Amino acid sequence: MIYKTSIFFLSILFCFQIAFGQDSNAAHRSDTNRRMIQFSGAVLTADSLKPIRFANILVEGQNRGGAANSYGFFSFVAYTGDVIVFSAQGYRNSRFKIPDTLTSFHYSMYQMMQTDTILLQETVIYPWPTVEALEYAIVHTVVPENDFDRAMKNLERETLREIGLSMPMDGSMNFRNQIGNVVSKSYYNGQYAPISLLNPFAWAQFIKAWEEGKFKRKDKDD
């Protein structure tokens, strides 16, 4: 029984060796028929014939190929019968099979590529991670003032009055005050100026200013 089983396995192994040898010979003959060439060219747009920069150029089914430069030019070693795949962002993939009947050791071509439109799905970005955060923001968020609100607040009468009282005199106001004093002294030139202590109108202005609190003492911090 063991003898028959051994003969059976040896027969199967012998058949596999024959089949593998035939496949190897066929592949060897196929590789021998293929010729190595220098594959060069340029990748251009089909509508305007402009170069496609840095397009990818690969041999289909194999990990070899190249890429176009900034002028769309490419050059690398390939074999006759290879299927070349051209791809670039925004363009449809193109395929080209190198003829297996070439007699020279180099082949050049211009590959045209059609533009392709890529439609992306709509993406909506919200500043709130959850619905609860959105509700909280609607209730508690303080709406900032716009330019109109700030302008109306700055133009309020009381605000302008406080600004006017605390604003020091500029050069023009100091000049007018000085000229006014000179004119007053010139008006009473050669005579005694009236004493405001006996002027009833001056007393009325003094009493009014006292009632309005204009003579209150101010702190140094104010």
- Convert the pLDDT of each residue in 157-168 to its tens digit: 888 888 888 888
Q: Report the pLDDT averaged over residues 124-140.
A: 88
Tell me whether residue 11 is in a domain: yes
CA distances from 168 to 48, 137, 156, 163, 171 (A): 71, 45, 20, 10, 10
Task: Please indicate, yes or no, if residue 186 is contained in any of the structural domains.
Answer: no
What is the number of domains present in the chain? 1
Q: Report yes or no on 76 lying in a domain.
A: no
Residue 16 lies in a domain: yes
Asked if residue 153 belongs to a domain, the reply is no
8 Å CB contact between 111 and 68: no
Cα separation values, 103 from 36, 84, 108, Å: 11, 19, 13
Q: Which position has the higher pLDDT, 208 or 42?
A: 42
CA–CA distance, 209 with 215 (Å, rounded to integer): 7
Asked if the structure places residue 133 within a domain, the reply is no
Query: How far, in whole angstroms, is CA 151 from its chain's centroid?
Result: 34
Region 193-203: mean pLDDT is 78
pTM equals 0.42
Q: Which domain holds residue 17?
A: 1-33
